[in-house]
Amino acid sequence: MRRKVIAGNWKMNMDPIEGATYVKEFIHLVEDTENEVILCAPYIDLIGLVQFTKGTNVKIGAQNMHWEESGAYTGEISGSMLKLIGVEYVIIGHSERRQYFAETDETVNKKVKAAIANELNPIVCVGETLEQRENGLTKEIITNQTRLALEGLQEEQVANIIIAYEPIWAIGTGKTATSEDANNSIKSIRDEICKIYGQNVGERVIIQYGGSVKSANARELFTTLDIDGGLVGGASLKPEEFSKIVNY
Ligand code: PGA
Alpha-carbon gap, residue 86 to 88, rounded angstroms: 6
pLDDT above 90 (res 80): yes
Alpha-carbon Rg of the chain, whole angstroms? Answer: 17
The overall average pLDDT reported for the chain is: 97
Ligand 1 center–CA 72 separation, angstroms: 32
Ligand 1 center–CA 210 separation, angstroms: 6
98-116: average pLDDT: 98
24-37: average pLDDT: 98
- The pTM for the full model equals 0.98
Ligand 1, atom 7, residue with closest C-alpha: 233
Cβ of 125 below 6 Å from ligand 1 = no
Told to judge if 166 belongs to the known catalytic residues of this protein, a careful annotator would answer yes
Helix (H, G, I), strand (E, B) or coil at 151: coil
Proportion of the chain above pLDDT 70, given as a percent: 100
Ligand 1 center–CA 60 separation, angstroms: 17
Strand-pair partners of 195: none
Strand-pair partners of 8: 39, 232
Helix (H, G, I), strand (E, B) or coil at 165: strand
Contact 167, 176 (CB under 8 A): no
Ligand 1 center–CA 166 separation, angstroms: 8
CB atoms within 10 A of CB 140: 13
The b-or-e profile of 94-129 (16+ CB within 10 A means b, else e) is bbbbbeeeebebebbbebbbbbbebebbbbbbbbbb
pLDDT digits (tens, 9 = 90+) for 6-28: 999 999 999 999 999 999 999 99
pLDDT digits (tens, 9 = 90+) for 196-209: 999 999 999 999 99
Residue in 98, 130, 171 to alter for ligand 1 test, most ligand atoms within 8 A of Cβ: 171
Told to judge if 76 belongs to the known catalytic residues of this protein, a careful annotator would answer no
Residue 125 Cα: closest atom of ligand 1: 9
211-235: average pLDDT: 97
- The catalytic residue among 94, 96, 128, 192 is 94
137-145: average pLDDT: 98
pLDDT digits (tens, 9 = 90+) for 45-58: 999 999 999 999 99
Q: Crossing angle, helix 138-150 and helix 179-197, to 10 degrees?
A: 40
Proportion of the chain above pLDDT 90, given as a percent: 98
